[in-house]
Amino acid sequence: MSKAPKPDKRFIEGPAGRLESTVESPADSLPVGVVVVCHPHPQHGGTMHNKVVHTLARSFVRMGFAALRFNFRGTEASEGCYDNGNGELDDALAAIEWMCAKYSNQPLWLAGFSFGAAIAVRAAIAVQVTGLVSVAPAVDRFGKGLAGQPRCPWLVIQGDKDEVVDVDLTVEWLDSLEPGPELLIMSGAGHFFHGKLVDLRSSVTEFVERHRIKPCL
């Protein structure tokens, strides 16, 4: 049985000050890639400790990746103030740069949940990534005016009982993209995927395993 990953809690330098973060990596092997995971809306209780965020990170760690979760500016011990998604994109890009410097030439994935999913989409347009996983992306509020779309393997997971992010708006937005991502609508899942986290992990794992491997540039 492989050992559980040991969290490495640290601060990384962000554009508005230090960002509180946690890196988890396989305990008994070198990472096969890296992932940066973005959390839900910080003004509605979202942090890097959110269960969906934690599930995303651990899904990648179980596949041999090093996973970085971090708190956006002004969240818990991270410095700075909330910036309506604009500064938070800069935070995500700083986190990506830090991971690519620490784990050079490794495949880079991005993942996010809700507000964090919309930020990760924007980050995946700004930088070259190997793949992207978006869970309940709040794109109608925080992803408008995109300069394009991610040009990488991209999975969107949306619950059909989501009480926060309207599934119809998500589908409408995805239909406007060409070629667009792979969409999985999870039956019976609400916004926070209560009782569905194992299914979420399985879906993420299956998608990532189909789309390996490209270096982080």
Q: Is residue 2 part of a domain?
A: no
Give the integer Cα–Cα distance in Å for 75 and 19. Answer: 9
Q: What is the pTM of this model?
A: 0.94
pLDDT at residue 217 tops 50:
no
- Interval 50-95: pLDDT, tens: 999 999 999 999 999 999 999 999 999 999 999 999 999 999 999 9
pLDDT of residue 173: 87
Residue 217 placed within a domain: no
Average pLDDT of the residues in 32-53:
97
pLDDT tens per residue, range 141-189 = 665 667 788 999 999 999 999 999 999 988 988 888 888 899 999 999 9
Residue 215 lies in a domain: no
Q: 216 in a domain, yes or no?
A: no
Residue 13 forms part of a structural domain: yes
Cα–Cα distance, 82 to 86 (Å, whole number): 9
The helix (run of H) or strand (run of E) holding residue 18 is strand 17-24
Rounded average pLDDT over 182-209: 97
CATH number at residue 40: 3.40.50.1820
Domain residues for the domain of 99 are: 8-210
